[in-house]
């Protein structure tokens, strides 16, 4: 089976449909266990802890490079030693395969 982190993100339009909850759950099973689907089924989220600010920012910089290269950008909340990552595809109003591709790539950082 092809791994998500080997895929590339593709553009979606406002006419594209979001994934169903069943599709999202199936894809989420391929990710690190800490990724959670939001109650409304429109985003996925993972929280990470780091030893210090330097390591947090190093991760954020790597994540920024990944998001830029895939042209798919997460919402981030961060502080001294933590980062909360949320992926959603705003153009479809929910989740797309792009969210899971990027999440799988984050898991490799």
pLDDT for res 34: 97
Q: Supply the pTM of this predicted model.
A: 0.92
Contact 28, 105 (CB under 8 A): no
pLDDT for res 101: 97
Its domain, for residue 89, covers 38-109
The Cα 13–Cα 22 span in angstroms is: 22
> Is position 15 within any domain?
no
Give the three-state DSSP class for 98.
helix
pLDDT for res 5: 84
Give me the percent of the chain exceeding a pLDDT of 70. 98
Give the three-state DSSP class for 18.
coil
| Angle, CA 57 vertex, CA 87 and CA 85 arms, to 5° | 15
> Is position 46 within any domain?
yes
Return the CATH number at 66.
Answer: 3.30.1360.20
Total domains in the chain come to 1
Low-confidence ranges of the chain (pLDDT < 70): 1-2
């Amino acid at each position: 089976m092809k791994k998500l982190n080997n895929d590339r993100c593709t553009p979606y339009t406002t006419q594209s449909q979001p994934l169903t909850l069943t599709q999202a759950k199936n894809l989420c099973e391929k990710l690190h266990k800490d990724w959670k689907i939001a109650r409304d089924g429109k985003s996925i989220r993972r929280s990470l802890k780091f030893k210090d600010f330097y390591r947090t920012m190093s991760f954020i910089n790597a994540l920024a490079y990944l998001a830029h290269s895939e042209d798919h950008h997460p919402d981030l909340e961060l502080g001294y030693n933590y980062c909360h990552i949320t992926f959603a595809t705003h153009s479809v109003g929910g989740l797309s395969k792009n969210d899971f591709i990027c999440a799988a790539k984050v898991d490799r950082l």
